Chains A and B, each alone.
Chain A
Amino acid sequence: MKTDDIREKVRAFILDEILPGEHPENLLDDMPLRTSGLIDSMGTIRMTSYLESTFGISIAAHETGVENFETVDSICQFVADKMAS
Chain B
Amino acid sequence: MSDRSLIAPVIDSFARHADRPAVTDANGRVATYAELDLLSRRFGARFLDAGVKIGDRIGFSRPKSIETVAALIGALRIGASFVPVDHAAPEHRNEHIFEDCRVALRCGEDLMPAEQAGAMEDCPSDPDRLAYILYTSGSTGLPKGVPLTHRNAASFVDWCVRTLEPRVGDVFSSHASFHFDLSVLDLWVPLWTGGSVAIIPTDVAQDPRRLPNFIVERGITNWYSVPSILALMVEFGRLEDLAFDRLRTICFAGEVFPLPMLRRLREQLPEVRLLNLYGPTETNVCTWYEVPGRIDANRTEPMPIGTACDHCDVALFDDAGQRVDEVGQVARVLARGAPVMNGYWGRPPEETPCLLTIDGQRWYDTGDLGEWDQVRGGERQIVFRGRRDRMVKRHGYRIELGEVEAGLDRHPDVQESAVWSGDIEGRVVIHAAVVPRDGATLGVIPLKLHCAVALVSWMSPDRFQVMDALPRTSTGKVDYATLRGA
Q: How far is the CA of A64 from the CA of B208 in the complex (A)?
A: 12
Between-chain CB contacts (< 8 Å), 21 pairs: A19-B444, A19-B445, A20-B463, A21-B463, A22-B445, A23-B443, A26-B443, A26-B444, A36-B452, A37-B449, A37-B452, A37-B457, A38-B452, A40-B457, A40-B460, A42-B206, A42-B395, A45-B207, A60-B209, A61-B209, A61-B210
Closest CB-CB distance, A68 to chain B, in whole Å? Answer: 14
Q: How far is the CA of A7 from the CA of B449 in the complex (A)?
A: 23
Is residue A83 within 8 Å, beta carbon to beta carbon, of the partner chain? no
User: With a CB–CB cut-off of 8 A, which chain B residues contact A21?
Assistant: 444, 463-466
Contact between B206 and A41, CB atoms less than 8 A apart: yes
In the complex, how many residues of chain B place their beta carbon closer than 8 angstroms to a beta carbon of chain A?
A: 23
User: With a CB–CB cut-off of 8 A, which chain B residues contact A37?
Assistant: 448-449, 451-453, 457, 460
Query: Known: A40-B457, A61-B207. Is A22-B452 also a contact (CB below 8 A)?
Result: no
Closest CB-CB distance, B237 to chain A, in whole Å? Answer: 10
Interface residues of B in 448-474 (CB under 8 A from A): 448-449, 451-453, 457, 460, 463-466
Query: Known: A37-B453, A45-B208, A61-B210. Is A22-B444 also a contact (CB below 8 A)?
Result: yes
Contact between A26 and B445, CB atoms less than 8 A apart: yes
Is residue A65 within 8 Å, beta carbon to beta carbon, of the partner chain? yes
User: With a CB–CB cut-off of 8 A, which chain A residues contact B395?
Assistant: 42
Contact between A22 and B232, CB atoms less than 8 A apart: no
Question: A22 touches which one: B206, B208, B443, B451 (CB < 8 A)?
Answer: B443
Contact between B449 and A38, CB atoms less than 8 A apart: yes
Q: Which residue of B lies closest to A15 (CB)?
A: B444
In the complex, how many residues of chain A place their beta carbon closer than 8 angstroms to a beta carbon of chain B?
A: 21
Give the A-binding residues of B (Cβ under 8 A).
203, 206-210, 232, 236, 395, 443-445, 448-449, 451-453, 457, 460, 463-466
Closest CB-CB distance, A39 to chain B, in whole Å? Answer: 9
User: With a CB–CB cut-off of 8 A, which chain A residues contact B460?
Assistant: 37, 40
* 9 A-B pairs with the lowest CB-CB distances in the bound complex, closest first: A37-B452, A22-B444, A61-B209, A41-B206, A61-B210, A19-B444, A21-B444, A38-B448, A26-B445
Q: Which residue of B lies closest to A43 (CB)?
A: B462
Contact between B207 and A64, CB atoms less than 8 A apart: yes
Contact between B236 and A49, CB atoms less than 8 A apart: yes
Interface residues of A in 19-72 (CB under 8 A from B): 19-23, 26-27, 31, 36-38, 40-42, 45, 49, 60-62, 64-65
Q: 11 more A-B contacts (CB under 8 A) besides A19-B445, A45-B236?
A: A19-B444, A19-B448, A20-B444, A21-B463, A21-B466, A37-B449, A37-B460, A38-B449, A45-B207, A45-B208, A62-B210
Q: Which residue of B lies closest to A65 (CB)?
A: B203
Q: How far is the CA of A84 from the CA of B127 in the complex (A)?
A: 65
Q: Which among A19, A31, A49, A64 has the greatest number of chain B C-beta atoms within 10 A? A: A19
User: With a CB–CB cut-off of 8 A, which chain A residues contact B449?
Assistant: 36-38
User: With a CB–CB cut-off of 8 A, which chain A residues contact B448?
Assistant: 19, 37-38
Q: How far is the CA of A36 from the CA of B446 in the complex (A)?
A: 11
Q: How far is the CA of A40 from the CA of B444 in the complex (A)?
A: 15
